[in-house]
Structure 1
Amino acid sequence: MDELWFQIGITWPQVLGVVGATTVLYLVYAALLELWTQRLQSSTSTLSLALATVTGAVMARAMLGNSPTLLGGLVALLTLAALESGFGFLRTKGVAKRHRRRRPARVVVRQGRVLRAELRAAHIDEHDLDIRLRMAGVRSYAEVALVILESRGSLTVVRDGQTIDAELVEDVRGIAAVPEDIVLRRQS
């Protein structure tokens, strides 16, 4: 019976160790994602996928300590669920609202011209942008009036001849330089 407990059990000091390691790694990973989200979400590179996979594997191993057990894994999962629920609650209450502003949505193409400085600031290369635009059905930069790189890494494409309501883009970096025939500003 002791041998079975050794394989699936965990002691109270080990519980504290798993909870502590899981909490620290969660916070570090959340900070890294805050910095890399636009890049990881918008990148089509296999290396980005491999980085995310390896990071998850390293974190999982580090959370469980020297000898991973079934109960240790459950403690880590419950800790992650509690942390995510707690931070999710704070996000919905607006406490974390200022942190979302760190990586603002930004204009990366305006009237068919790529804004390379904005791509560099988001750590995205033009090749990734080209791939994402093709995936969105864009065949030429000439048919694009506006492309916004969203804070989560997705693209919003406004085609030539289309407009977007100013209320939807008021917090987008670089939107003030977009002509009024693209951004519809309603008269009061």
Structure 2
Amino acid sequence: MLESLGITVEGALAVVFATAGMYFVMVVLVRLLGQRVLSGMSSFDLVAVIAFGAVIGRAALGDSPRLAGGIVALVTLMTIQALVGVVRGTRVGSRAVVNRPVLLMAGREILESHMRTCHVSRAELYSRLRQAGIAHTEDVGAVIFEPSGTISVLRAGRPIDPNLLTGVVGADLLDQDPTHP
């Protein structure tokens, strides 16, 4: 049946394996380079993501792409996404698939080692502080690098609900005394 759609069974299997392989290579690269790769994209980042898609598409579909091969690749990607969603729903899978949030600033102290781990520059941090309306570093209660690659800013002056800090790497570094901004 597949042959009548312009692809052999072997060709379909090659598309499945190439698509799955490229998907997992991309996941590994994003894990190694940090989730910042795909969040808050600049124009250069957007160009890179488009190029990634082109490379993955070419690798998955081979030299002469056909509609059937594209359908097989899309079904493969959607199946992998569904499986990752199921795995993410388990405790062990969640630890393996989802990045943990990381504390970047504890009060006015910038945690340089955490910044390096998350591939966040001071310029990016300061930009996010300005966007959050922070005029002085004394106004910062905490800055957290979220699993999505975004940066959250919590203001000083009030204790932070401990539930909001569950799973945050470095949360133990926060001074929860509201009298110390």
TM-score by length of 2: 0.85
Q: How does 1:103-142 map to 2 (within 5 A)?
A: 103-142=99-138
Identity %: 35
Q: Secondary structure at the match of 1:181?
A: coil
* CA shift in 2, pair 1:131/1:86, >3 Å: same
Contact residue 42 and residue 124 of structure 1 kept, 8 A = no
**Alpha-carbon distance between aligned partners in 2 of 1:88 and 1:180, rounded to the nearest angstrom:** 35
Query: Which residue number in structure 2 is paired with residue 153 of structure 1?
Result: 149
Deviates more, 1:39-48 or 1:141-150: 39-48
What is the CA RMSD across the aligned residues, in angstroms? 2.2
**Alpha-carbon distance between aligned partners in 2 of 1:152 and 1:59, rounded to the nearest angstrom:** 22
* CA shift in 2, pair 1:56/1:93, >3 Å: same
**Deviation (angstroms), 1:96:** 1.0
**Deviation (angstroms), 1:70:** 0.9
**Alpha-carbon distance between aligned partners in 2 of 1:81 and 1:100, rounded to the nearest angstrom:** 17
TM-score by length of 1: 0.82
**Alpha-carbon distance between aligned partners in 2 of 1:176 and 1:37, rounded to the nearest angstrom:** 23
**Deviation (angstroms), 1:28:** 1.1
Structure 2 gaps, min length 5? none
Q: Secondary structure at the match of 2:142?
A: strand
Q: Does 1:174 align with 2:156?
A: no
Q: How does 1:38-53 map to 2 (within 5 A)?
A: 38-41=35-38, 44-53=41-50
Aligned amino acid, residue 170 of structure 1: T
**Alpha-carbon distance between aligned partners in 2 of 1:99 and 1:91, rounded to the nearest angstrom:** 8
Q: Secondary structure at the match of 1:164?
A: coil
Aligned amino acid, residue 72 of structure 1: G
Structure 1 gaps, min length 5? 183-188
Q: Deviations along 1:29-51, whole A, 9 cap, x unmatched? A: 12222233432255554332222
**Alpha-carbon distance between aligned partners in 2 of 1:135 and 1:150, rounded to the nearest angstrom:** 16
Q: Secondary structure at the match of 2:37?
A: helix
Contact residue 40 and residue 150 of structure 2 kept, 8 A = no
**Alpha-carbon distance between aligned partners in 2 of 1:17 and 1:169, rounded to the nearest angstrom:** 45
**Alpha-carbon distance between aligned partners in 2 of 1:44 and 1:91, rounded to the nearest angstrom:** 25
- Given the alignment, which residue of 56, 79, 84 partners 1:87? 84
Aligned amino acid, residue 74 of structure 1: I
**Alpha-carbon distance between aligned partners in 1 of 2:129 and 2:106, rounded to the nearest angstrom:** 14
**Deviation (angstroms), 1:90:** 1.6
**Alpha-carbon distance between aligned partners in 1 of 2:94 and 2:26, rounded to the nearest angstrom:** 19
Contact residue 43 and residue 124 of structure 1 kept, 8 A = no
Q: Deviations along 1:109-163, whole A, 9 cap, x unmatched? A: 1222322222112111111112222223333322211111112211221112133
Contact residue 38 and residue 150 of structure 1 kept, 8 A = no
**Alpha-carbon distance between aligned partners in 1 of 2:75 and 2:154, rounded to the nearest angstrom:** 42
Query: Which residue number in structure 2 is paired with residue 27 of structure 1?
Result: 24
